[in-house]
Amino acid sequence: MSNKAVVLRFLAVLVAGAAAAQPGGQFYNVDKEVRIEGPVREIILEPRYKGTAPFLVLGVEDSASAKRYNVEVSPSWFFGQDIHGGEKVKVVGSLSETPRSVPTIIARELQLRGETFKLRDKRGFPNWQGGPQRKRGIRRFGSS
């Protein structure tokens, strides 16, 4: 097998792995970043992969448009904060819309109770990469 074929096969495996790492097969797209702010209307712990912790998804109603969004936060073990229905949050993340479903925002930052939680880096790579054993931790900023 030629070196070119080996490299192409390797790249195909990387792309497939990246797709599997994103919840629901969605990718973080920095060109589709949005900001919303509003109350939490629903809290979902969604099982994603067999044998792993559930993923925290928030149903948030945008105060400006009254539109409902599902906000994918992180694996539950990573976020580790109590959130209650009705609490106001601010979200920065990548918008992913599919016909006939609630638009989804893959959160990069979530502001709750005056603290900003950095869930992903500026390119959208998760801060929980490597699992609980390699936890880098949520980067928190401020308290107002």
For 52-78, give the DSSP string.
SPPEEEEEEE-TTT--EEEEEEEEHHH
Predicted pLDDT of residue 138: 56
> What pLDDT sits at residue 87?
97
pLDDT tens, position by position, 119-134: 999 999 999 987 665 5
Residue 71's H or E segment, with its range, is strand 68-75
Fold of 28-141: OB fold (Dihydrolipoamide Acetyltransferase, E2P) (2.40.50)
Which pLDDT score is estimated for 20?
38
pLDDT of the residue at 18: 42
pLDDT for the residue numbered 118 = 96
Q: What is the per-residue pLDDT for 26? A: 74
**pLDDT for the residue numbered 12:** 44
pLDDT of the residue at 21: 44
Tokens of 49: 């992969």
pTM for the whole structure: 0.74
Q: Which residues of the chain have pLDDT under 70?
A: 1-25, 131-144
